[in-house]
Amino acid sequence: MAVVARIRKGAYHDSVALLQVQRALRELPGVEEAGVVMGTPANLALLREAGLDAPDLQHAGPDDLVAVVRARTEPEAVRALERLDELLAHRAGTQQADYRPRSVRTAVRALPGANLAVVSVPGRFAAGVAEEALREGLHVFLFSDNVAVAEEVRLKRLATERGLLVMGPDCGTAVVAGTGLGFANGLRRGPVGIVAASGTGLQEVACLVHRLGVGVSHALGTGSRDLSEEVGGATFITALLALAEDPLTEVIVLLSKPPSPQVATRVLRVARGCSKPVVVSFLGAQPAGAWEGLHFATTLEEAAYLAVRLLGREIPERADPTPEPLAWAPGQRWVRGLFAGGTLCVEAQVILRPRLGRVWSNVPLTEQARLPDPLVSREHTVVDLGSDEFTVGRLHPMLDPSVRNLRLLHEAQDPEVAVILADVVLGYGAHPDPAGELARAWEDALRRSGRKLVCVTSVCGTELDPQPYPEQVRRLREAGIVVAPSNAAAARVAAALCGAQAPSAFPQWLPAVEVPEPVPIHRPSSEPVRRLLSGTPRVVNVGLESFAQSLQAQGVPVVSVDWRPPAPGDPELLDLLARLGG
């Protein structure tokens, strides 16, 4: 075997383009494996883990394009890499067949009536792009992660001053007036409105509501840190006020991982002043008693069912799959959860912990259960593979499942592992066949392990998704994977397979939510927010081309910016531009 690398200094390409070039290299004669990434430390570590180590990697920086090929012979590896520039040029030509503006300002001029920017550039550049969009009068859907908290606070203050909405950073999903942004699902419109400081939490509740025969008016993501003490719920409260007066919304659902208690109190005071019923799921946090107008749910699954019941709809009884009990080998007892969705990972812990005891994680319920090293599991472990430490400079696992596939193979080799727990998330912008990817990885893991293992999953999606829900479920079951109707149900099945008993009640390992007196809602939402929710968005896309393509498939007017990093590879120039406001 021969491993050969090529480094292109300061050559930026978006992660979807690099993934497609990587796949093309893998198909060339003699090539066994290939990696094409930006040279961030996390990406270089993953290349080495995949057997793509080369001496040249030590010279790569985060703004450099890195391509590595492992082939049968060195000449075959060199010939494959000689195609790199051709493949990159072909991809660039495909993306840029038409004229593209080079800035948000020129894009706004090219799209009359533009009112929303979708931003998915690398995190260290994202705040600057978002600020430009706000100053051009655009609401912002900020998909980018790895944005500093101070920058988020600054952007949301600017948005408040201008009556605009900043959904993000690290906002994976939103649905605005029926238009899906980011990883949104195909949903019918209806009376349930959602505000969520969680992407896959929003998707899970919206899809369950849809599959229960109801629909969604709007589903507004806020970014995962919006309910932190530093950010103060700025977008969350703005979105709640907008849904409170939205004529299509009859029931409001509020979703988050456990928030700051002080910010939760602020949000719930506003929620209690709303004339519409409000369902609250702060994943594991419980109130001390019942409160008029607020309905608390411990899980995302329960939140969806509560919302539908509050509309007076009859719903079927929930039933978890009951796989045949297995005779495990001595010592085989652990659950290992591998999640693309961070909130689904947290919900799994809410289910597993009272049944199995401590569950380790990189996004734990308590600091005592934090994994010392996210790359190394111990005992019962569930990992959010979409967390920042896994996504710096590379695609989210909902777009590129390769990181989970490698981790699954590794976990299956541990003789003490009994159950693999995973999620499959469908939707616009997501991988075209996530179930197929998981099924192939699982079949490979079973062949290599040579022992009994069970994989339990759920599919977050609908029949209206680009990857239709029924077909994805069928593919998983063909591979022998147990498919549950919800993420919470999958976690219950995984615990039961390890011999756990259902708890009589959820223990209060998280602080109880204090619900104060209501604050009557006097402040209406801003005119720009009302206009956004009442009509089809007109979008300026800056970053991942796949997001523009999904918007076009929904019939949404969109203009893509031909974005490039400013002063690529030169930290001093970047600092100077920032100080000059460039």
pLDDT at 522: 59
pLDDT of the residue at 8: 87
What is the model's pLDDT at position 509? 45
| pLDDT score, position 539 | 97
Q: Counting beta carbons within 10 angstroms of the beta carbon of residue 160, is it exposed (0 to 12), middle (13 to 18) or buried (19 or more)?
A: middle
Q: How far is CA 71 from CA 2, 35, 79, in A?
A: 5, 12, 10
Which among 404, 406, 402 has a CA at the least distance from the CA of 382? 404
- Residues 120/122/125/127 CA torsion (nearest 10 deg): 50
pTM above 0.75, yes or no: yes
3-state secondary structure 295-362: EECCCHHHHHHHHHHHCCCCCCCCCCCCCCCCCCCCCCCEEEEEECCHHHHHHHHHHHHHHHCCCEEC
Structure tokens given for 304 = 């969806």
Query: What does the pLDDT read at residue 576?
Result: 45
Q: For residue 384, with 0-12 CB atoms within 10 Å meaning exposed, 13-18 middle and 19 or more buried, which class applies?
A: buried
**C-alpha span between 198 and 188 (Å, rounded):** 21
Going by their DSSP bridges, the two strands 116-119 and 179-182 should be labelled as unpaired
For residues 263 and 175, give the distance between their C-alpha atoms in angstroms, rounded to a whole number: 24
Q: Cite the DSSP H helix spans in 168-280.
A: 199-211, 234-245, 261-272
Can you give the pLDDT of all 582 residues of the chain as single tens digits?
889 999 988 777 777 778 888 888 988 999 999 988 888 787 888 788 778 888 888 888 887 889 999 999 999 989 999 898 888 877 655 554 467 898 999 999 999 999 999 999 988 899 999 999 999 999 999 999 889 999 999 999 999 999 999 999 999 899 999 999 998 999 999 999 999 998 999 999 999 999 999 999 999 999 999 999 999 999 999 999 999 999 999 999 999 988 888 898 889 989 988 899 999 999 866 665 556 778 999 899 999 999 999 999 988 888 888 877 778 999 999 999 999 999 999 999 999 999 999 999 999 988 999 999 998 999 999 999 988 788 766 678 888 898 899 999 999 999 999 999 999 999 987 899 999 999 999 999 999 998 899 999 999 999 999 999 999 999 999 999 999 999 999 999 999 998 887 675 555 444 556 666 766 665 677 899 999 999 889 999 999 888 898 899 999 999 999 888 775 545 554 454 444 444
Of the candidates 300, 305, 403, 374, the one whose C-alpha atom is nearest the C-alpha of residue 343 is 300
pLDDT of the residue at 580? 46
pLDDT of residue 391: 75
pLDDT on residue 544: 86
What separation in angstroms does the CA of 160 have from each of 380, 528, 529?
43, 11, 11
Helix (H) or strand (E) holding 161, with range, is helix 149-161
pLDDT at 577: 46
DSSP class of 290? -
